[in-house]
Amino acid sequence: MSDPKDRISLRNPWHLLATGFGSGLSPIIPGTMGTLAAIPLYFLLVLLPFPLYLLAILIAAIIGITICQRTSDDMKVHDHGSIVWDEFVGFWITMAVAPHATWKWVLTGFILFRFFDMLKPWPISWLDKKVKGGFGIMIDDVLAGFIAMIILWGIGTYFGW
């Protein structure tokens, strides 16, 4: 059986975005590498006025359904680890409560998002198992992002960041 990653072409814009500009093709911890690759784009997004930041995330999430579905179909595998656009969106959701793009906020948001994305506590695990297609690939990371965002807000408030 061939490796599903052999069906990826970074010349294909859907594949390029789905793999987080190739970061998801890392042989080790592709989801973490994808989240790391989302950080520079976060630093650009955070320059937008807050309503436009939220709109950009919403658009990225909606388009992400197609990005992930097309790439998953081409790979002939549902939610392959190299598909990391969902990590991009989940991380950006997490960071929506950060009032400043400082290392404390970014590092804490990164750790929280990765924690919830990897461990997948209920209901994230339920969505991951039950919802299929591009929406299914996206929704568990979107929810992980929202949960991490709430906890990030609590940590920032508690520590007075």
Contact yes or no for 8/25 (Cβ under 8 A): yes
Q: Which of 52, 88, 70, 91 is nearest to 135 (CA)?
A: 70
Per-residue pLDDT of the chain (161 residues; tens, 9 = 90+): 589 999 999 999 999 999 999 999 999 999 999 999 999 999 999 999 999 999 999 999 999 999 999 999 999 999 999 999 999 999 999 999 998 899 999 999 999 999 999 999 999 999 999 999 999 999 999 999 999 999 999 999 998 88
Q: Which of 65, 76, 75, 63 is nearest to 131 (CA)?
A: 65
Spacing of C-alpha 37 from chain mean position: 10
Residue 71, CA distances (Å) to 62, 77, 106, 107, 147 in order: 15, 9, 28, 29, 27
pTM here?
0.96
